[in-house]
Amino acid sequence: MNDEQKKRFYSKIDIPYDNMVFGCWEWTGRKSNGGRLFPYGQFDLFDKTYQAHRIAYLLWYGKESDNCVCHTCDNPSCVNPIHLFDATHTDNMKDKVNKKRSYKPNHVGSKNQSSKLTETQVLDIRSRQNQFHHDIAKEFDISRNAITSIINRKNWKHI
């Protein structure tokens, strides 16, 4: 990365004045959509889009990770390098389970912590299957693919 690209990257970080070292450095730039409740920061570099926390890891540690770059703070939009660690996919999944962020069979639908919808909203979406999916998606602030999956009963199968 050249100095101009680094300057552009750092300009999109909100570092808390009262907790510069240990606090989360929030990414203020573009974030992933994809229907995630907690989106990851995105940064364009060399005609490719990268997750912002991976770029922070690269800048701080001087190397790109071949594995997952995980957050000790569990904040996907954090780019504080001391909150980031290199881990295998297996390690990442173990971390998720240990921190009780993994899927629980009885936490389906609106009981799931990452759910953006209620059962009533899902039924409403299904009743409007003949409308343009992107219009419905805008209304509910989720992706068009999520709407299609709901209507085709790939998601929210329990209702």
Domain limits of the chain?
A: 3-98, 109-151
**What pLDDT score was predicted for residue 78?**
95
Q: What are phi and psi of 14, to 5 degrees?
A: -105, 105
> Which amino acid is residue 40, in one-letter code?
Y
For the chain, counts of helices (H) and of strands (E)? 6, 6
What is the per-residue DSSP string for 86-151?
EE-HHHHHHHHHHTT-S--TT--GGGSTT----HHHHHHHHHTTTS-HHHHHHHHTS-HHHHHHHH
List the pLDDT tens digit at each of the 159 positions of the chain: 899 999 999 999 999 888 877 899 999 999 987 555 678 999 998 889 999 999 999 999 999 899 999 999 988 899 999 999 999 999 988 888 888 776 665 667 877 767 889 999 999 999 998 999 999 999 999 999 999 999 999 988 888
CATH topology for 3-98 is Homing Intron 3 (I-Ppo) Encoded Endonuclease; Chain A (3.90.75)
Q: What is the pTM of this model?
A: 0.62
